[in-house]
Amino acid sequence: MICVKAEGSYLINGKLSTIAELSQEQARNNTITYQILKAHDKTQETKKVSVTFDSLISEDPTYVGIIQMARESGMTHFPVPFVMTNCHNSLNAVGGTVNEDDHVFGLSAAKKYGGIYVPANFSVMHAYAKEELVTCGDMILGSDSHTRYGALGTMGFGEGGAELVKQLLNQPYDIPSPHVVLCYLSGQPKQGIGPEDIALAIIGATFKNGVVKNNILEFTGPGLCNLSADYRCNIDTMMTETACLSTIWETDVIIEEYYKTHGRIQDYKQLKAKSPAYYDSVILVDLDKIESMIAMPFHPSNVYTIHDFQQNAKDILAQVDIEANQLFGKNKLKISRKYMDGKVYADQGCIVGCVGGLFENISETAAILRDFGIGKSEFSLMIYPASMPVNLELMRIGALDTLISAGAVIKPCICGPCVGCGDIPANNALSIRHATRNFPNREGSLPLENQYAAVALMDARSIAATAVNGGAITAATDMDYKVPQHTYHFDRAPYEKKVHYGFKKGDSSIGLVTGPNISDFPPIHELAENLLMELSAVFHDLVITTDDLIPSGEATSYRSNPVRLADYTLSRRAPGYADLCKAIQLVESERRDGKQPPKMLDILSHFGDSGNLIRNTQLGSCMFACKPGDGSAREQAASSQRILGSVANICYEYATKRYRSNCINWGIIPFTISKETSFDYHVGDFIFVANIRSAIMCGKVDIHGLILKADGGSEPIVLHVGDLSNMEREIILSGCLMNYYRQNMWA
């Protein structure tokens, strides 16, 4: 059903070919991707692009920090439309007043700087962007990894908050010129196959082989005409889980109708690749052959067809148990218990957020449940519409009536379970979700409190079929039902009556309203001439996610309080990490005060005259992981490390461009080592790098260091910093992005 061709191909008049009259470089400019990038590129160079975005969007766990960083860096107003939504910390259930304090801060910032403010429970951020912000040919930057609007002709990029700060300070978004991967769709999905099924099939075929990592996915093909706008948007948002950089789709009459329905026909234009267009690789998707899919814990790429899963459930669940044992300890979470009498039973279903909460997913769920209901078993079903306009239309067509009558529970327009904030399953429960991710503890359980649960991803249609069967995992293609044919009517009245539209209407005399949990970032010091790093965490897992680095759920309420948030760094994976880093920080603080801490003198004596070295040698913590940073764009995964005194990460590769950028923006040196290097070192070992500041300043790529092991032996190590721009080098030397702006822009 999916065929990945790693070799390059040309698209000529809608057909694939290996030869064309134009060179690859010339023909790559004919892609939709490069038509848009070049229109926004300020350099017109070949090897990189330097982009100014048309608009920005952020949500409540991140916009406070973004505004605080930008304000401390000298921002006086929002130069482009900046939308602040409130869809993550919307329940106001953890941490007392802190969540609502953030919302009050956001509205005051929108009034002061000229922003757009969407109140809590009104819309998931990406639903609002698709309804109100997108324009064909535009580019939007969001502080959430699922900032994907390509199906509607807008290139969306999800990055850490520091990248939005750059835009608020009129600084460009610099990236190497990306490769473009063509996703060529043919055929038509059969009844019961939803967009999540298509998305999971593509993720399963691409994530582990890295074919689209940090590349742009461009969608076209004869199968497009068989996919509605809602359907395309769901697939598009899920492409974040392939590790792609962004997406863009060919637009057509279906997308034109979407803009017309939303009262913005002036923002539509046809986007189409010119001929010939060159793509660095191709993914062929035969929509006819896609089956109902399930992604097992603990990653969206762990995919099976539901029918294969049913036939091999014992073996597949046993493998999940093995992975759970590796993550949490033996028998902490045993999913194989869910296999009973030849079937696998889920405890909970959730249809939620920027993928599950779309109109067509929920209306078709209602159609499947219409004559059945979910029964009185332990299985429960929660549904979160993506926005108030979607909610309104579902109400008007009777879908909410049907769902409530069937025993489902209708929830607010928030991300909820997708980020571990709402409908957290019971201990040892299995939740099936039409959502974006199923990382460990993403569902909100707390391993430190011996609470463990797991999530499998499925399409809303199969979740409804499962509900009909009392929680027994069921493919929607095994159900006989009539697909509803509703013409969607968008009513923006809720937005008109409540959203604050303040772009270009800022009032600098208005003060920011700050609650007791909202605090500034602590001082961060610039890079010293020499660097002494103490290994504070070492992971040999295939991937370390941003949820591992700074958890969602219990920590989300404290993202406006960077010092307090830092205590949660790696709390699920290395519970003593924060205390160890603080102890290292204390020694470095003594050194900065002119003292000569005995511990540091002793370590430096192995590398030279410690009395002289200590004056110009910075001590900090360092993490090793094979491939860190998969998942969320949250910059706090890096800023929290930095606040605890982290000076570098070492890995074989970074899982995403956005996490590496977050590290750089917070002054964490993004070291890599050769994949042939065996990193047989442990917490408590030290790495000394002489003349690191000079090396970064001069643009060195390979940097030599020495590792001092606990047994007293030392070994050389070669650390690579990769391709750093001039600005990135300056940021690292300055200690962080805020320092860089203070020193360079407003001096």
As a dihedral over the C-alpha atoms of residue 503, residue 508, residue 510, residue 511, rounded to 10 degrees, the angle is 110
- pLDDT tens profile 409-455: 999 988 888 887 788 899 999 999 999 999 888 888 888 788 999 99
Q: Residue 528: how many CA atoms within 13 Å on its side-chain side?
A: 19
Helix ranges restricted to H, 192-341:
195-206, 229-238, 253-261, 306-311, 313-328
Going by pLDDT thresholds of 50, 70 and 90, the confidence category of residue 747 is: very low
State the Cα–Cα distance between residues 424 and 741, nearest whole angstrom.
Answer: 41
- For the segment 633-649, the average pLDDT, to the nearest whole number, is 92
Find out whether 233 and 152 touch, Cβ atoms under 8 Å. Answer: yes
Query: Would 53-171 and 293-493 be classified into the same CATH topology?
Result: yes
Q: Which CATH superfamily is domain 1-49+177-290 in?
A: Aconitase, Domain 2 (3.40.1060.10)
**% of residues, the chain, pLDDT over 90:** 76
Which DSSP helix (H) or strand (E) runs through 392?
Answer: helix 388-396
CA angle 71, 661, 657 (to 5 degrees): 140
Give the pLDDT of residue 415.
83
Buried b vs exposed e over 510-524: b needs ≥16 C-beta within 10 Å?
eebbbbebbbebeeb
Residue 235 has pLDDT above 90, yes or no: yes
Confidence of residue 631 (pLDDT cuts 50, 70, 90): confident
Question: Regarding beta strands 409-410 and 380-384, do their DSSP bridges make them parallel or antiparallel, or are they unpaired?
Answer: parallel
Task: Band the pLDDT of 151: cuts 50, 70, 90.
Answer: very high
Instruction: Write down the mean pLDDT value for the chain.
Output: 93
Number of Cα atoms under 13 Å in the Cβ half of residue 258: 26
- For residue 94, what pLDDT band results from cuts at 50, 70 and 90? low
Is the pLDDT at 73 greater than 90? The verdict is no
Mean pLDDT over residues 516-524, rounded?
A: 90
Q: Omega before 359 cis (within 30°)?
A: no
93: pLDDT strictly greater than 60 = yes
Class at the top of the CATH hierarchy for domain 293-493: alpha beta
pLDDT tens, residue by residue, 346-368 = 999 999 999 999 999 999 999 99
Residue 558 in this model has a pLDDT that exceeds 90: no
Q: pLDDT tens digit string along 317-353?
A: 999 999 999 888 888 999 999 999 899 999 999 999 9
Beta bridge partners of 668: none
Identify the helix (H) or strand (E) that includes residue 461: helix 460-468
**Residue 241 confidence (pLDDT):** 95
Give per-residue pLDDT as tens, 272-306: 999 999 999 999 999 999 999 999 999 999 999 99
Rounded to 5, what percent of the chain is helix, strand, coil?
35, 20, 45
Fold annotation for 53-171 = Aconitase; domain 3 (3.30.499)
Instruction: Tell me the average pLDDT across 508-537.
Output: 94
Distance CA 85, CA 107 (A): 10
Q: Which residue(s) pair with 281 in the sheet? A: 181
Q: Which one-letter DSSP state was computed for residue 290?
A: -
CATH superfamily, domain 530-744, is Aconitase, domain 4 (3.20.19.10)
Higher pLDDT, 133 or 413: 133
Mean pLDDT for 370-377 is 84
pLDDT tens for 691-722 read: 999 999 999 999 999 999 988 888 999 999 98
The pLDDT tens digits for 237-254 are 999 999 999 999 999 999
At 92, is the pLDDT very low, low, confident or very high (cuts 50, 70, 90)? low
Please report, for the chain, the start and end positions of each structural domain, with discontinuous segments joined by +.
1-49+177-290, 53-171, 293-493, 530-744
